[in-house]
Amino acid sequence: MGKLKVMPQQAIIDGFKGTIDFYVYMGIPCFRKWPKSPGKLRAPAVMATWASFSYIANKWLLLPDEIRAAYEEMASGTGMTGRDMFTRSYLSGLFDVP
């Protein structure tokens, strides 16, 4: 990451697309190496959670609308969605979904 005195013109930013990422952080113009995807390879611990996320994502789709609405209401004001709260509560072991 590097700091800039001023943000360059759009034509310059466009010229570096795919190489350098220009952005503003806390009001300071900055640049960094263009972010790259790590590809399909992930750490074993990350891959171990995929089945749980897939399972609970499918369960969310099967919930009745009244229960989804209740989760949305519980999540209001928390910065999370009802789906986030449902997923977090399952993954943390708060409850078990049959």
Q: How confident is the model at residue 98 (pLDDT cuts 50, 70, 90)?
A: low
Structure tokens at 15: 């010229």
Q: What is the pLDDT of residues 7-24, one digit of tens each?
A: 999 999 999 988 999 999
| pLDDT at residue 68 tops 90 | yes
CA distances (Å), origin 90, targets 16, 53, 94: 43, 9, 6
Structure tokens at 68: 């989804």
**Domain positions in the chain:** 2-33, 44-91
Could you tell me the pTM of the whole model?
0.56
As a whole-number percent, the residues of the chain with pLDDT over 90 amount to 65
**Residue 67 has what pLDDT?**
95
Pick from 75, 79, 40, 77: which is nearest to 60 by CA?
75
Single-letter residue type at 36? K
